[in-house]
Protein backbone atom coordinates (compact mmCIF):
# COMPACT_ATOMS: atom_id res chain seq x y z
CA UNK A 1 0.00 0.00 0.00
CA UNK A 2 1.43 3.38 -0.99
CA UNK A 3 1.76 6.32 1.39
CA UNK A 4 -0.92 8.28 -0.49
CA UNK A 5 -3.43 5.42 -0.03
CA UNK A 6 -2.73 5.31 3.71
CA UNK A 7 -3.22 9.08 3.86
CA UNK A 8 -6.52 8.87 2.00
CA UNK A 9 -7.75 6.12 4.33
CA UNK A 10 -6.82 8.19 7.34
CA UNK A 11 -8.61 11.23 5.90
CA UNK A 12 -11.75 9.12 5.38
CA UNK A 13 -11.54 7.86 8.96
CA UNK A 14 -11.18 11.40 10.31
CA UNK A 15 -14.06 12.62 8.15
CA UNK A 16 -16.43 9.86 9.20
CA UNK A 17 -15.52 10.11 12.88
CA UNK A 18 -16.08 13.87 12.84
CA UNK A 19 -19.38 13.35 10.98
CA UNK A 20 -20.68 10.76 13.42
CA UNK A 21 -19.46 12.23 16.71
CA UNK A 22 -18.27 15.85 16.46
CA UNK A 23 -20.65 17.44 13.99
CA UNK A 24 -23.92 16.07 15.43
CA UNK A 25 -22.96 17.00 18.96
CA UNK A 26 -21.83 20.52 18.07
CA UNK A 27 -24.67 21.04 15.61
CA UNK A 28 -27.29 19.67 17.97
CA UNK A 29 -25.98 21.80 20.79
CA UNK A 30 -26.02 24.94 18.65
CA UNK A 31 -29.47 24.31 17.16
CA UNK A 32 -30.89 23.16 20.49
CA UNK A 33 -29.75 26.31 22.23
CA UNK A 34 -30.98 28.52 19.39
CA UNK A 35 -34.40 26.87 19.23
CA UNK A 36 -34.91 26.96 22.99
CA UNK A 37 -33.96 30.61 23.19
CA UNK A 38 -36.26 31.47 20.27
CA UNK A 39 -39.22 29.44 21.54
CA UNK A 40 -39.10 29.83 25.33
CA UNK A 41 -39.17 32.78 27.64
CA UNK A 42 -37.23 32.82 29.97
CA UNK A 43 -34.44 30.59 28.61
CA UNK A 44 -34.23 27.16 30.27
CA UNK A 45 -31.43 26.03 32.53
CA UNK A 46 -28.04 25.00 31.12
CA UNK A 47 -28.60 21.40 32.24
CA UNK A 48 -31.86 21.26 30.26
CA UNK A 49 -30.14 22.77 27.20
CA UNK A 50 -27.44 20.08 27.35
CA UNK A 51 -29.92 17.22 27.79
CA UNK A 52 -32.08 18.37 24.88
CA UNK A 53 -29.10 19.20 22.65
CA UNK A 54 -27.46 15.80 23.15
CA UNK A 55 -30.77 14.07 22.48
CA UNK A 56 -31.34 16.14 19.35
CA UNK A 57 -27.80 15.59 18.12
CA UNK A 58 -27.77 11.82 18.22
CA UNK A 59 -31.37 11.07 17.32
CA UNK A 60 -32.00 13.67 14.64
CA UNK A 61 -28.62 14.90 13.38
CA UNK A 62 -26.51 11.75 13.02
CA UNK A 63 -28.00 10.55 9.71
CA UNK A 64 -27.80 13.85 7.86
CA UNK A 65 -24.40 14.55 9.39
CA UNK A 66 -23.03 11.22 8.18
CA UNK A 67 -24.35 11.86 4.66
CA UNK A 68 -22.86 15.37 4.70
CA UNK A 69 -19.56 13.97 5.97
CA UNK A 70 -19.36 11.47 3.12
CA UNK A 71 -20.14 14.19 0.57
CA UNK A 72 -17.68 16.66 2.11
CA UNK A 73 -14.87 14.12 2.46
CA UNK A 74 -15.29 12.97 -1.15
CA UNK A 75 -15.24 16.51 -2.48
CA UNK A 76 -12.36 17.60 -0.22
CA UNK A 77 -10.22 14.70 -1.45
CA UNK A 78 -11.18 15.43 -5.05
CA UNK A 79 -10.26 19.11 -4.65
CA UNK A 80 -7.01 18.14 -2.93
CA UNK A 81 -6.09 15.87 -5.86
CA UNK A 82 -6.79 18.80 -8.20
CA UNK A 83 -4.09 20.72 -6.32
CA UNK A 84 -6.26 23.32 -4.59
CA UNK A 85 -4.78 25.00 -1.55
CA UNK A 86 -6.42 25.04 1.87
CA UNK A 87 -8.32 28.32 1.52
CA UNK A 88 -10.39 27.41 -1.57
CA UNK A 89 -11.23 24.02 -0.06
CA UNK A 90 -12.33 25.64 3.21
CA UNK A 91 -14.47 28.19 1.37
CA UNK A 92 -16.08 25.55 -0.83
CA UNK A 93 -16.81 23.33 2.17
CA UNK A 94 -18.28 26.31 4.05
CA UNK A 95 -20.72 27.04 1.20
CA UNK A 96 -21.51 23.34 0.81
CA UNK A 97 -22.02 23.07 4.58
CA UNK A 98 -24.49 25.96 4.54
CA UNK A 99 -26.48 24.33 1.75
CA UNK A 100 -26.46 20.90 3.38
CA UNK A 101 -27.37 22.39 6.78
CA UNK A 102 -30.31 24.29 5.30
CA UNK A 103 -31.51 21.17 3.46
CA UNK A 104 -31.24 19.05 6.61
CA UNK A 105 -33.13 21.70 8.59
CA UNK A 106 -35.84 21.88 5.90
CA UNK A 107 -36.24 18.09 5.91
CA UNK A 108 -36.16 17.81 9.70
CA UNK A 109 -38.66 20.61 10.23
CA UNK A 110 -40.97 19.29 7.51
CA UNK A 111 -40.90 15.78 8.95
CA UNK A 112 -41.54 17.02 12.49
CA UNK A 113 -44.40 19.29 11.44
CA UNK A 114 -45.93 16.87 8.94
CA UNK A 115 -45.93 19.44 6.13
CA UNK A 116 -43.42 21.44 4.12
CA UNK A 117 -41.89 24.05 6.42
CA UNK A 118 -39.77 26.80 4.89
CA UNK A 119 -39.10 29.06 7.83
CA UNK A 120 -36.08 31.12 8.85
CA UNK A 121 -36.59 29.77 12.38
CA UNK A 122 -35.36 26.39 11.09
CA UNK A 123 -33.33 27.32 8.01
CA UNK A 124 -31.23 29.98 9.75
CA UNK A 125 -29.80 27.75 12.50
CA UNK A 126 -29.40 24.91 9.99
CA UNK A 127 -27.43 27.08 7.57
CA UNK A 128 -25.26 28.60 10.30
CA UNK A 129 -24.55 25.16 11.78
CA UNK A 130 -23.65 23.87 8.32
CA UNK A 131 -21.36 26.86 7.79
CA UNK A 132 -19.55 26.22 11.07
CA UNK A 133 -19.20 22.51 10.31
CA UNK A 134 -17.95 23.29 6.78
CA UNK A 135 -15.31 25.60 8.23
CA UNK A 136 -14.27 23.03 10.84
CA UNK A 137 -14.25 20.04 8.47
CA UNK A 138 -10.81 20.60 6.85
CA UNK A 139 -9.22 20.83 10.28
CA UNK A 140 -10.90 17.55 11.26
CA UNK A 141 -9.67 15.90 8.04
CA UNK A 142 -6.09 17.14 7.83
CA UNK A 143 -5.29 18.83 11.13
CA UNK A 144 -4.43 22.44 11.77
CA UNK A 145 -1.04 22.86 10.13
CA UNK A 146 -0.86 20.47 7.18
CA UNK A 147 -0.89 21.78 3.65
CA UNK A 148 -3.64 20.33 1.51
CA UNK A 149 -2.03 20.20 -1.89
CA UNK A 150 -1.24 16.84 -3.43
CA UNK A 151 2.41 17.89 -3.59
CA UNK A 152 2.71 17.67 0.24
CA UNK A 153 1.84 13.98 0.54
Q: Where are the domains of the chain?
A: 3-142
Could you give the CA distance from residue 21 to residue 39 in angstroms, rounded to a whole number? 27
Percent of the chain past pLDDT 70, that is, above it, reads 70
Evaluate if residue 95 carries a pLDDT over 90: yes
What digits encode the pLDDT tens for the residues 101-122? 888 888 877 876 778 888 888 7
For 10-23, give one letter per residue: b (16+ CB within 10 A) or e.
Answer: ebbebbeebbeebb
Evaluate if residue 132 carries a pLDDT over 50: yes
Task: Determine the average pLDDT of the residues in 135-144.
Answer: 82
pTM over 0.75: no
At 79 the pLDDT is 93
Better-scored residue on pLDDT, 114 or 46: 114
Evaluate if residue 82 carries a pLDDT over 90: yes
Amino acid sequence: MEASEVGTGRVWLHGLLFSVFGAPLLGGLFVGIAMMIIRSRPPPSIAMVLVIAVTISYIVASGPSLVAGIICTSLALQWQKQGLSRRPIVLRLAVLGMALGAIAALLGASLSEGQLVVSPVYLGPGAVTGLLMGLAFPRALWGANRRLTSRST
